[in-house]
Amino acid sequence: MTIEEAQAQVDHWIKTVGVRYFNELTNTAILMEEVGELARIMARKYGEQSFKESDKNIDMADEMADIMWVLICLANQTGVNLTEAFEKNVAKKTKRDELRHKNNDKLK
């Protein structure tokens, strides 16, 4: 699935199953909540925190998909074409960081 197809699929779902988009501020708050849920998993799986019993069945991939879902909602609501935005972002990073990471002694 392309990013464009994902944006269309989310839009179709929102309009047929979800009734309407939550407003942009609500979706931004939901996005932060979803990122927090992923951060909780990461802190327990890769960090120094231990899992609580309630954390043990949480699916990291599903949490990442939740983040994508809400981000796509925000993009659709604000008229952002995520394919174009991502392509521009990669080009920006490539130009800016062409030698930066290769010359970083901390990464060697």
pLDDT tens string 7-63:
999 999 999 999 999 999 999 999 999 999 999 999 999 999 988 887 778 899 999
Per the domain annotation, does 24 fall within a domain?
yes
Residue 88 lies in a domain: no
pTM of the model: 0.88
Dihedral of alpha carbons 45, 102, 96, 76, sign: negative
CA angle 40/46/50 to nearest 5° reads: 60
**Is the pLDDT at 105 greater than 90, yes or no?**
no
Domain of 54, CATH number, reads: 1.10.287.1080
Tell me the residue range of the domain where 21 lies.
3-81
Coil/strand/helix, residue 39: helix
100 in a domain, yes or no? no
Closest CA to 20 of 69, 68, 57, 73: 73
